[in-house]
């Protein structure tokens, strides 16, 4: 999510006056005042985040998540560039902050008592919480979330589901994001206590902390904070059987028009693959009840699956089809040369959903497990495991919704093959 903070000269002058005034108050102690001037001099803000399904992850267009949006806004406020580093554990994040490797830490939760060397920033939001557990244990659960900094959230949910943990208290938002990992629904009960969402900083950097508070106040006033904390659209899980009958009903009466829509001179990929991707993307989009290829509905990519290409508005149907083809070509070009068809095309589709980096991780894990790393049959097993802490915490780029990507590849290839069969029947 990208925040756009207006860079008008009046606002910039006001911010600079505020920072200069804060610097004047602390210039008597050069050690305390050094942090923010160093950030401004280096023209770089370094923020550490937790990589997890409920934290900040790497998507196909780069880092994404609430803290990423906040960090982009704060860096823009300071007039510097942003450098994000991700960690898998709270202790690693805080150690990096103490060692000066990052300027601010964005943990999933902050312990009730922090060591004196650390301090907290402003509270961005209070997360409503739920007790989760089995029916016999949820009502007796203590309102204690001290387990959160140390244990991956998805592991907590799985332990409760497996009854190895009697119950737990989690933010409702997090449970909604990871509950698809549990085989059966859990008993839930709201609790009065909320979980504050805030960053941690070094206690000897009051100037940076003051600037963060000022940024947060300004963001509340101009409503950009609300935009940063708004959740992205949830996507379908593509669960259940393939909707073959519905797909045929949507496409067969308009096959020739579909072929013309997804064809253009010099394209790299066949029209039936592009049309299959479009249909699968529309299936993924929540709230889009018209998930169909039926013309004359214009070809448009759902917001959650937009190809990261710069196109001039308004988007023409032809421009979007060409952009999709060009984007797939770019992904394919960056894949390892040893990948051969049809495996290369299948890995390309998975990279289209997850991002190039996560498929590099999947190939690496495949190789580490002693399997042939350039066969999709082997790669997809490790792709699925990118959603589990035991696997993604060993990778460079962290968590990814691997199971969704594997199902997406199956759906697209099924739709693509179906369109080819329908085309042959019409000949």
Residue 227 per-residue DSSP state: H
pLDDT at 176 over 60: yes
The CA–CA distances, whole Å, from 285 to 2, 59, 233, 269, 275 equal 20, 16, 8, 23, 16
Rounded to whole angstroms, the Cα distance separating 163 from 375 reads 37
Are the C-beta atoms of 400 and 355 separated by less than 8 Å?
A: yes
Q: Edge-to-edge strand order for the sheet containing 200-202? A: 81-87, 44-50, 104-106, 200-202, 118-120
Least-confidence region, from 84-98, 224-238, 278-292: 278-292
237 — pLDDT class (breaks 50, 70, 90): low
Mean pLDDT of 28-32: 37
pLDDT at 254 over 90: no
Provide CATH code, domain 9-124+198-229: 3.40.190.10
Tokens of 316: 């023409």
Tokens of 101: 């490797």
Give pLDDT tens digits for 202-212.
998 999 999 99
| Domain edges within the chain | 9-124+198-229, 125-196, 244-426
Give pLDDT tens digits for 376-424.
999 999 999 998 888 999 999 999 989 999 999 999 999 999 999 988 8
Give pLDDT tens digits for 150-160.
567 777 877 87
Rounded to whole angstroms, the Cα distance separating 95 from 74 reads 22
- Reduce the DSSP state of residue 62 to 3 states and report it: strand
The CA–CA distances, whole Å, from 270 to 30, 244, 302, 424 equal 64, 20, 21, 14
- Reduce the DSSP state of residue 170 to 3 states and report it: strand
- CA proximity to 299, closest of 337, 260, 330: 260
């Amino acid at each position: 999510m990208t925040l756009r903070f207006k860079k008008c000269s009046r606002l910039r002058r006001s911010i600079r006056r505020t920072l200069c005034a804060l610097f004047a108050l602390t210039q008597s102690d050069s050690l305390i005042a050094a942090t923010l001037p160093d950030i401004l001099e280096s023209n770089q803000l370094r923020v550490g985040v937790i990589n997890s399904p409920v934290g900040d992850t790497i998507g196909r267009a780069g880092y994404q998540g609430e803290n990423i949006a906040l960090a982009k806004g704060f860096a823009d406020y300071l007039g510097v560039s942003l450098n994000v580093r991700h960690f898998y554990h709270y202790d690693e994040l805080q150690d990096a902050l103490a060692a000066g490797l990052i300027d601010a830490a964005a943990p999933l939760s902050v312990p009730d008592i922090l060591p004196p060397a650390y301090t907290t920033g402003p509270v961005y939001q209070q997360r409503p919480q739920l007790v989760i557990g089995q029916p016999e244990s949820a009502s007796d659960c203590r309102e204690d979330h001290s387990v959160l900094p140390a244990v991956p959230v998805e592991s907590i949910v799985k332990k409760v589901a497996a009854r190895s943990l009697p119950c737990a208290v989690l933010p409702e938002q997090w449970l909604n994001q990871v509950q698809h990992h549990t085989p059966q629904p859990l008993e839930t009960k709201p609790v009065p206590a909320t979980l504050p969402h805030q960053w941690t900083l070094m206690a000897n950097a009051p100037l940076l902390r003051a600037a963060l508070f000022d940024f947060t106040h300004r963001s509340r006033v101009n409503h950009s904070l609300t935009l940063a904390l708004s959740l992205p659209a949830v996507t379908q899980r593509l669960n259940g059987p393939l909707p073959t009958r519905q797909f045929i009903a949507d496409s067969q009466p308009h096959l020739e028009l579909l072929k013309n829509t997804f064809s253009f001179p010099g394209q790299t990929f066949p029209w039936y693959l592009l049309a299959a991707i479009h249909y699968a993307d529309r299936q993924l989009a929540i709230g889009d009840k018209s998930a169909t290829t039926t013309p004359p509905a214009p070809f448009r990519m759902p917001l959650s699956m937009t190809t990261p290409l710069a196109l001039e508005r308004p988007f023409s149907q032809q421009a979007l089809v060409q952009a999709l083809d060009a984007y797939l070509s770019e992904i394919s070009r960056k894949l390892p040369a040893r990948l051969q068809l049809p495996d290369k095309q299948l890995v390309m589709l998975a990279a289209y959903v997850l991002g190039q980096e996560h498929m590099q991780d999947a190939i690496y894990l495949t190789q580490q497990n002693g399997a042939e790393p350039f066969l999709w049959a082997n790669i997809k097993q490790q792709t699925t495991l990118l959603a589990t802490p035991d696997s993604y915490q060993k990778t460079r780029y962290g968590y990814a919704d691997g199971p969704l990507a594997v199902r997406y590849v199956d759906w697209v290839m099924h739709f693509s093959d179906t369109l080819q069969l329908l085309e042959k029947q019409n000949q």
